[in-house]
Amino acid sequence: MRVRLDLAYDGNAYRGWAHQPGQPTVEGTLREALATIIRREVPVVVAGRTDAGVHARGQVLHLDLTAEEWDALARGRAIPPETAMRQRLNGVLGREDGAVVVHQVRRVSDDFDARFSALSRTYTYRIADRPDLRDPLRRHDTAWLSPSRKLQASGQLHVLLMDAEATSVLGLHDFGSFCRPREHATSIRQLTEFTISRGPDGVITALITADAFCHHMVRALIGACIDVGEGRRQPGWLMDRLSDPIWDERVRLAPPQGLVLERVDYPDEDQLAVRAGQTRARREPAP
């Protein structure tokens, strides 16, 4: 039977999501916890892998258990298996000092695929672009931008220009100039939301949603917007890069610690299999 887990984690504690022998990773930590309570290795499928230093509030994964393993989770207690699994996983994960927390466990349809059934992923990115905005209590989830001679006369990023750049690349495109190449992987994505604004506290927040993101795509897009906001690049830079979808030395990645996976959205249960089939099909650019 298929089980969905919703979890959050502090990316600063790990070398990214994907399991790496000898390295602390979110996947490795979670699989160790699962092996402790299930008594075997349990493969997991995640909605989206995150880089080292990147955080998540709304990560989703699925795994498969036997009926016997599911029923045994409560260990004779009069509580649902979902509750028992969440409690036991968080008990084991307590040794991580709060860096990983499982918020919800639920049994789902066999058609559910955490990766391929997803409709979209949404990230936020926080930037403190002035020294007075550097809050030590938020240093792990906010990128501190070092002063640059390229910054505007005000000494801070030009947020209106950055937001205009973000809006300019909405839609279905080949984002190859913002994706580190991977063999047999497509860089065609549907970007549905991308806004950049300065909040009442002065901190800049980018909000970005797409059907999926390829390797380094979010950080590369944010980095390009920062280049325009600093004056390193002229307005229209992102569209210029889209016209030449090649990853090269012009890419500047934004620091990882400002990035948070906020949520993953899925269709209704009767559309899960359809969506998974659509996602597996190779994306093609709009005419």
Closest CA to 273 of 60, 110, 120: 110
CB count, 10 Å around CB of 67?
8
Count of C-beta atoms within a 10 Å radius of residue 201: 10
For residue 51, indicate whether it is catalytic.
Answer: yes
Is 194 buried (19+), middle (13-18) or exposed (0-12) by CB count in 10 A?
buried
Q: CA nearest 95: which of 24, 152, 159?
A: 24
Residue 85 buriedness (CB in 10 A; 0-12 / 13-18 / 19+): buried
From CA 129, how far away is CA 213, in angstroms rounded? 25
What are the residue ranges of helices labelled H in 159-235? Answer: 159-168, 217-230
Phi, psi dihedral angles at 223 (to 5 degrees): -60, -40
**Nearest to 64, CA basis, from 111, 13, 14:** 111
| Catalytic-labelled residue, pool 6, 51, 110, 227 | 51
Residue 77: which region, alpha, beta or left (left: phi > 0; alpha: psi -120 to 50)?
A: beta
Q: Collapsing DSSP states into helix, strand and coil, what is residue 8?
A: strand
Active site residues: 51
